[in-house]
């Protein structure tokens, strides 16, 4: 979570006031000065996007007379949509400073189900857990910096939402234990975004939010206890209609054609749905591995332009320190009599993409979608131990390919001069499924581990264009 918030802050401050670099620009590289753009006034709008939960969940269940203490991530995921209303005030005496308040309400079908202990198909014993985030809302402050019709901002405040966590544990011939707890919980939200004019009173935005709704701890009496630290990561685009402010301006379409190179930094969160299948047992374990952390790298690209339409290709290579070292199954991370334990460590050390871009330039702001080929590496280590048995360490490394899809906003970065632009971007990378066999003849181990690599990236990039985009003075 901390890495996402730091990257969000970087993204929000990336589009700096053009005034800081205006003195250094040549008049040959800028468009004529236009009427001032004001963000002051009320607005309302709609949004759509997706969410990826990362709720660290601990289940304690005395199966077969042996204490279990599994830890995994419940990762409710799916599409979301909703509406927002807000008010901005652009401070006249401070160039570009915008203060605001916004409230939103979101709905969407998001759920996740795991079985952190062996779920036997013959019903001998199992532990099924499910979590649903039914809806949520926020009331937030916004602090931003405007460069004419482009506003970058950080945001934070109060969050609330409906969370349902339920499950069922079966212990051989004993009666099953079930629980279900639905709560409307409160917590906090932090994030950032970029909003830009679409012409007239309309604006479009891309935004990331981290929502934390605290720890939900349903108890089922003396048999089992489950606690879940509920958090959600929101990636969404929005459309706003503004009432008031000055939205009548005439900005030239930027010249995006030509080569560019750049750097980027951001955050990565994965939702790697995984299973353990046992060769001599009618059952398997299903769970999520959820590496997250920082990512950074470089990109190179070329754009073609026809009027306001921009067509391009871009390649990038990224390093990352994303890791999940918290997942522990079976008996958890503590060896108990007669009980096998397994501790996981999964990393995504790098990835890269080669993508097409299709965009539309409104003035000097480019809105674009992107999709193409992706490749990367995953590393997984599994440490198994049991009472009276030597530990076993299994390591797997995979180089995989798949696809990437996403979108973003790119606009001039006046601080460094007219050849520089900055972008805020979301990417979804899917590298497919891997399957590995854990085999040890001495310990009679013959197991299969599968994992699906799906990564969500939120990043900001800085580009240098060899064919300078037009930059408008505000």
pLDDT value at residue 55: 87
Residue 292 · residue 267 · CB < 8 Å: yes
69's tokens? 């203490």
Q: Is 467 exposed, middle or buried (0-12, 13-18, 19+ CB in 10 A)?
A: middle
pLDDT confidence band for 440 (50 / 70 / 90):
low
Cβ 3 vs Cβ 293: under 8 Å: yes
Q: Which residue has the tokens 């995504």?
A: 348
The contacts of residue 268 (CB under 8 Å, 6+ apart) are 291, 292, 293, 294, 295, 320, 322, 348, 455, 456, 457
Contacts of 2 (CB under 8 A, 6+ apart): none
How far apart CA 74 and CA 59 sit, in angstroms, is 11
Classified as helix, coil or strand, 33 is coil
Q: Is the pLDDT of residue 283 over 50?
A: yes
pLDDT at 56: 86
Cα–Cα distance, 260 to 455 (Å, whole number): 26
Residue 172 corresponds to which tokens in the numbers above? 């051989």
Per residue in 159-212, pLDDT tens?
A: 999 988 887 766 655 556 677 788 889 999 999 999 998 888 899 999 999 999
The structure tokens 């759509």 sit at: 48
> Which residue matches tokens 């809302």?
137
**What pairs with residue 220 in β-bridges?**
none
Antiparallel, parallel or unpaired: β 30-31 and 177-199: unpaired
Given this model, what pLDDT does residue 443 score?
59
Looking only at the bridges linking them, the beta strands covering 471-472 and 30-31 are parallel
Highest mean pLDDT, choosing among 132-136, 137-141, 284-288, 378-382: 137-141
Q: What are phi and psi of 6, to 5 degrees?
A: -65, -45
**Calpha distance 67→424 (Å, rounded):** 47
Cβ-Cβ contacts under 8 Å for 93 (sequence gap 6 or more):
none
Query: How do beta strands 365-386 and 97-107 pair?
Result: unpaired
Q: pTM of the entire structure?
A: 0.85
Q: What is the pLDDT of residue 390?
A: 59
pLDDT at 5: 54
What token pair was written down for 394?
Answer: 């299994």
- What are the residues whose beta carbons fall under 8 Å from the beta carbon of 280, sequence distance 6 or more? 446
| Whole-Å CA distances, 191 to 3, 163, 252, 277, 418 | 11, 21, 31, 39, 28
pLDDT of residue 394: 86
């Amino acid at each position: 979570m901390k890495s996402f918030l730091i990257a969000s802050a970087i993204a929000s401050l990336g589009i700096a006031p053009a005034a800081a670099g205006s003195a250094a620009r040549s008049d040959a590289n800028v468009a004529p000065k236009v009427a001032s753009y004001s963000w002051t006034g009320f607005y309302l709008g709609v949004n759509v996007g997706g969410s990826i939960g990362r709720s660290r969940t601990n289940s304690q269940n005395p199966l077969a007379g042996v204490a279990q203490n599994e830890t995994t991530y419940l990762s409710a995921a799916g599409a979301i949509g909703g509406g927002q209303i807000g008010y901005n005030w652009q401070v006249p005496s401070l160039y570009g400073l915008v203060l605001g308040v916004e409230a939103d309400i979101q709905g969407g079908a998001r759920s996740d189900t795991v079985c952190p202990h062996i779920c036997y198909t013959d019903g001998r014993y199992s532990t099924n857990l499910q979590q649903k985030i039914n809806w949520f809302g926020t009331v937030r402050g916004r602090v931003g910096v405007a460069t004419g019709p482009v506003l970058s901002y950080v945001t934070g405040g109060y969050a609330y939402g409906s969370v349902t966590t339920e499950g069922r544990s079966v212990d051989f011939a004993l009666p099953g234990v079930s629980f279900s707890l639905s709560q409307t919980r409160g917590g906090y939200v932090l994030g950032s975004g970029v909003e830009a004019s679409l012409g007239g009173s309309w604006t479009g935005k891309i935004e990331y939010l981290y929502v934390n709704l605290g720890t939900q701890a349903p108890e089922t009496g003396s048999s089992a206890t489950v606690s879940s630290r509920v958090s959600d990561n929101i990636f969404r685009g929005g459309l706003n209609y503004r009432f008031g402010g000055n939205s009548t301006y005439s900005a030239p379409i930027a010249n995006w054609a030509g080569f560019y190179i750049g750097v980027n930094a951001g955050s990565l969160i994965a939702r790697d749905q995984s299973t353990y299948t046992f060769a001599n047992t009618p059952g398997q374990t299903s769970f999520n591995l959820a590496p997250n952390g920082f990512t950074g790298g470089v990109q190179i690209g070329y754009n073609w332009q026809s009027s306001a339409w921009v067509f391009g290709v871009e390649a990038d290579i990224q390093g990352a320190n994303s890791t999940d070292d918290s997942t522990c199954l079976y008996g958890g991370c503590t060896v108990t009599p007669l009980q096998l334990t397994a501790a996981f460590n999964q990393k995504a050390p790098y990835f890269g993409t080669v993508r097409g871009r299709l965009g539309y330039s409104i003035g000097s702001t480019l809105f674009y979608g992107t999709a193409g080929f992706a490749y990367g590496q995953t590393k997984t280590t599994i440490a198994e131990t049991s009472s009276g048995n030597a530990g076993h360490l299994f390591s797997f490394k995979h180089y995989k390919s798949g696809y990437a899809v996403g979108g973003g906003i790119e606009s001039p970065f006046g601080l460094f001069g007219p050849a520089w632009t900055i972008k805020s971007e979301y990417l979804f990378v899917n590298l497919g499924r891997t399957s590995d066999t854990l085999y040890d003849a001495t310990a009679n181990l013959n197991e299969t581990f599968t994992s699906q690599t799906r990564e969500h990236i939120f990043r900001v990039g800085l580009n240098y264009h060899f064919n300078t985009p037009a930059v408008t003075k505000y």
